Amino acid sequence: MSETVSIPGYRVVRPLGVGGMASVYLAVQESLDREVALKVMAPALAANREFTERFLKEGRITARLSHPNLVTVFDIGQHGTAYYLAAEFIPGGTLRDKLNQGLSVAEALDVVRDVAHGLHYAHEAGFVHRDVKPGNVLFRLNGTAVLADFGIAKSIDGSTMATQVGSSIGTPHYMSPEQAKAEKVDGRSDLYSLGAMLFELLTGKPPYDASDPFTIALMHVTHPVPQLPADVKWLQPLIDALMAKDAAARFPTGEAFAAAVDQLLATAPEAKSLSEISGRRRAAPRLTRTDQQRKVAEAGAPPGRPAWLLPAGAGLALLLVVGGWYATRGGDDAPAPAPAPAASSAPVAAAEPPPAAVSPVPTEVPVTDLTGGLAAPQDVATLLATAQEYVRTGIVERGRRLASPPGDNAIDLYLRVLQIEPGHPQAEAGLQQIADYYESKSKAAFDRGSFAGSMVLAEEGLRARPGDPRLAKLVAESRRALGQ
């Protein structure tokens, strides 16, 4: 599909991505003067009459879904030989981009909690996603995580091409055992994928990996549930109850999982340090359906025993699944409906105020601790030691604590040292090391075509070394590649 695609009622602004199944454009829906992500089916699929008929029929059903944590579908139709779908334009980038930067435990939990709310609503309405992965999670400007790419959906009655024997839709790294075996699936398959995604957010790597997709899919069926490293071992019960091989042993619903997260955060000693969660978690509205009408219910769940101890499958209706049509290049770096037009170094989970502007400070500087308060004043030596430890672990752990959370990361600590002692050689060297790290990661992301990720990584590096010509060049090249 060329960039000159013409769909009546839509004015194409620029291409956002091209995949094997669709081309994605930023467009303006002229009747309402609003930006949309316009997906146009690839000609090879458009020639398949059975596929296009199902796409039109079942895509209209998908458009009925409306939830703060799901991308809204506005329109679906056909013009000549072009089959298209217009969806909500989400400008905050993808979770894959955020993952390339490194996420804290609090940020990871906040993201999967948002996605779980969206999945619960979709499952209750009778739809299964089948392709939950970081590339399909987008962010609103306020930091809310939104699940995209439901593709062709179908209610609980009937079958679809994607549920017929021998068809397996999804991404191997996040595929449930029943998906890998091409069996019928229900909402608990999506929760398995959510667990695989959570594992990657916490460790920086997928739960199973191999040189070919078939082997990865087989590992989901035959290998034991993956184990978290020691520093996040306290979250293993969540992984166990999401990624159980038997669907009946998993969380029964997304709301049960979200309640389990809240319960664990309220009771686990390790959770006391997660300031990003405390005091700023967005209470996502829990939308349900009653007599086919959507109502808004209160968020949250009352205290109680951990949800993973509840009966896992009682009363849960079988939710048949449908195929994914949205654009994909066959991997998790597929073009999303809305690549970020501008990078942001704000934490994923919420829009927090930026760190205070630099101003003269006393010799001892109060350092914000992980609980949201102020730690005891610390001297230059302590600041340097903390920053150097963050660099040491961050280089290994995909950038963790190099640039976030605000006030308690290596960049901010080194900058505080330079406020106290301008030109301090260790602080200058540390900032240069961080800039070099981000330059390397940004270049690697650019080389594999992840331009939004490359831009974000380069801009993080510029926080450490403003004006660095290598990083500035990467930002400019990424913006050009994104059409900005």
Tokens of 443: 């270049």
Token pair 């409306």 in the structure block, residue: 66
Question: Cα(first)–Cα(last) distance of the chain, in Å?
Answer: 21
Q: How many other C-beta atoms can be found within 10 angstroms of the C-beta atom of residue 78? A: 14
CB 415 within 8 A of CB 361: no
**DSSP secondary structure string for all residues of 228-289:** --GGGGGGHHHHHHHS-SSGGGS-SSHHHHHHHHHHHHHH-GGGGG-TTTTTT-----EEEE
**DSSP secondary structure string for all residues of 122-179:** HHHHT---S--SGGGEEE-TT--EEE----S---SSS--GGGSTT---S-GGG--HHH
Selecting among 110, 114, 131, 190, the annotated active-site residue is 131
- Taking the C-alpha atoms of residue 180 and residue 264, their distance in angstroms, rounded to an integer, is 31
- Taking the C-alpha atoms of residue 245 and residue 242, their distance in angstroms, rounded to an integer, is 9
Q: How many other C-beta atoms can be found within 10 angstroms of the C-beta atom of residue 356? A: 9
User: 110 an active-site residue?
Assistant: no
Residue 240 burial (CB < 10 Å; 0-12/13-18/19+)? Answer: middle
Give residues with Cβ within 8 angstroms of 469, minimum separation 6: none
CB 332 within 8 A of CB 133: yes
Give residues with Cβ within 8 angstroms of 147, minimum separation 6: 69, 70, 71, 115, 118, 119, 122, 129, 132, 136, 137, 138
Q: Which residues pair with 88 in a beta bridge?
A: 36
Phi, psi angles (nearest 5°) of residue 468: -60, 120
Kindly list the distances between the CA atom of residue 143 and the CA atoms of 91, 114, 115, 350, 435, in Å, as whole numbers in the listed order. Answer: 11, 10, 12, 5, 25
Token pair 């040189």 in the structure block, residue: 211
Active centre residues (catalytic): 131
